[in-house]
Amino acid sequence: MFDQVLSALTTVVIGVGVCVLYFWGANWVLDRLLGGDNETSKNDGLRTSIRPWIFLFPALFFLSLYLIYPVFATVWLSLFDSSGRKFIGLGNFIWAIQDGNFLQSVYNNLLWLIIVPIGATIFGLIVAVMADRLWWGNFAKSMIFMPMAISFVGASVIWKFVYDYRSGDSEQIGILNAIVNGLGMEPQVWLQIPFWNSFFLMLILIWIQTGFAMVILSAALRGIPEETLEAARIDGANDLQIFFSIMIPQIFGTIIVVWTTITIVVLKVFDIVLAMTNGQWDTQVLANLMFDWLTRGVDFGRSSTIALVIMIAVLPIMIWNIREVNKEEGTR
C-alpha cells in the first residue's frame, strides 16, 4: 500500500518533470540550433514555424493515440468476429438489427434521449428562475447542484435505497414505498415494473443533471438586459408572460447547448443501468449493452459495433458544435 502511494507520487513528479524537461529542452535546442549571435531572418522564420509544434506535440500525440486512432480502429474492429481475426463484413450489424436486446436498448435509449434532457432542462429552468428571486436562492442552488459531484454508482446506491421494496408485512424502509403505503396504496417493486422501470432510472440522471442545466441557464438569464424585462413589465406583462415571451426566446441558444450536452451524457451513461438493474426487466441501454459484450461476452466485434452506433448518434451534435465554433472563429 505504501509502495503504491509512493509510486503514484513518483509518477506525478516524473510526469511533471518529463513534461517540463521536454518543453524547456526542446525550446532550448531550437534556440541553440537555429539561433546564435548572427541569426538570419531565414532561421528566425524557421524557428517561428517550428515552435508551435513543440508546444503542441505531446497533446497531439495523446489525442491521436487515445481518441483519434481508436475511432478508426473501432470501425475496423466492428467488421470482425468475436476473436477479432475473422472478417465478417457487416455481420455484426446484421446481428444487431435482429437481436432483441439491441433493439430494446435502442428503444430505451430513444426514451432516455427524450425524457432526461427535457426533464433536466425544465427543472433546471424552474430553479434558475425562482432562486434568483429569493434571499436563500444561492443555498437552494447549491443543494440542487450537489448531485453533480456524486458518481453514478454512488447515486445508484442512493436511489436503490429510495426504491427499496420489502415483501410481506414488513415495514417499508424505502421512502417511495413508505409514501405510497402512507397514501393507502400497495407498495411496488419499482425496478421490475416493465416499461415504467426505465423512467425510475431516468429520474436518477435527471436528479444529477438538473444542477448542470440550472447553472448554465441561470447565467444566461442574468445576461438578459434589465431594460428588456423592465419594458415588458411597463407594458403590463405578468410573470408568466415575461417568462415565456421574453426569457425563453432570449436564452434559447443556451437551452440548445444544455440540451446537446445532456444528450451526450445520456448516450454515454451506463453505470446507472449497470448498478440498478444490469439491463434486466427490459431496462437495457446501448452503453451498458456495449459494456456487457466487452466484459462478460468478450466479443470485441459486437462490442465495437454497439460503440459505433453510439458514436453515430453523437455525430450530428459533434458536427453542429464544430460548425458553431468555426462560425465564431473562422477557420484560419
Partner 1 sequence: MANVAVADLPASKPSFTLNIDWSKLATHIVLLALVIIWTLPTVGLLVSSVRDKDQLTVSGWWSALTTTQRTGGGRTLAADAQVLENGVYVISGNLLSEDEQGRTLSAYGLTNNTFGDNPVGTSVAPKEGGELTVNADGSYTWVSETEFDFKRGQRVLYTAQIPPRFTLDNYREVLTSEGIDRSFINSFTVTIPATIIPILIAAFAAYALAWMQFPGRGYLVAIVVGLLVVPLQMSLIPILQLYNGVAPMLGVEAKSYLGIWLAHTGFGLPLAIYLLRNYMAGLPKEIMESARMDGASHFKIFTTMVLPLSFPALASFAIFQFLWVWNDLLVATVFLGVGDNELVLTGRLRELIGSRGDNWEILTSGAFISIIVPLIVFFSLQRYFVRGLLAGSVK
Residues 174-203 that bind partner 1 (CB under 8 A): 174-175, 178
Q: Which of 24, 87, 244, 252 binds partner 1 (CB under 8 A)?
A: 24
Q: Interhelix angle for 69-77 vs 300-329, to 10°?
A: 140
- 112 and 266 in contact (C-beta within 8 Å)? yes
Q: Closest Cα to residue 215, out of 152, 125, 154, 96?
A: 125
Q: Rule CB under 8 A: say whether 27 interacts with partner 1.
A: yes
Residue 88 phi/psi, 5-degree rounding, is: -125, 15
Q: Rule CB under 8 A: say whether 87 interacts with partner 1.
A: no
Q: Rule CB under 8 A: say whether 266 interacts with partner 1.
A: no
Q: Rule CB under 8 A: say whether 297 interacts with partner 1.
A: no
Q: How far apart are CA 253 and CA 242, in angstroms?
A: 18
Cβ distance to partner 1 smaller for residue 130 or 248: 130
Look-up of cell digits 549571435: 37
Beta bridge partners of 87: 80
What is the total count of residues that contact partner 1 (CB under 8 A)?
121
Q: Rule CB under 8 A: say whether 77 interacts with partner 1.
A: yes
Handedness of CA 249, 251, 252, 255 (dihedral sign): negative
Give the angle 216-200-163 at the CA atoms, nearest 5°: 115
User: Of the ranges 98-106, 169-177, 190-198, 228-236, which one interacts with partner 1 (CB under 8 A)?
Assistant: 169-177
Q: Rule CB under 8 A: say whether 252 interacts with partner 1.
A: no
Q: Rule CB under 8 A: say whether 150 interacts with partner 1.
A: yes
Q: How far is the CB of 172 from partner 1 (least distance, A)?
A: 7
Cβ distance to partner 1 smaller for residue 138 or 245: 138
Annotate each residue in 212-251 with x if it binds partner 1 (CB under 8 A) or - if it does not, as one string.
x--xx--x-------------------x------------
Q: Closest Cα to residue 118, out of 259, 246, 268, 277?
A: 259
Q: How far is the CB of 257 from partner 1 (least distance, A)?
A: 5
Q: How far is the CB of 37 from partner 1 (least distance, A)?
A: 15
Residue 112 phi/psi, 5-degree rounding, is: -55, -45
Look-up of cell digits 457487416: 90
User: C-alpha distances in angstroms, 10 versus 2, 23, 244?
Assistant: 12, 20, 56
Q: Rule CB under 8 A: say whether 133 interacts with partner 1.
A: yes
Q: Rule CB under 8 A: say whether 58 interacts with partner 1.
A: yes
Q: How far is the CB of 89 from partner 1 (least distance, A)?
A: 18
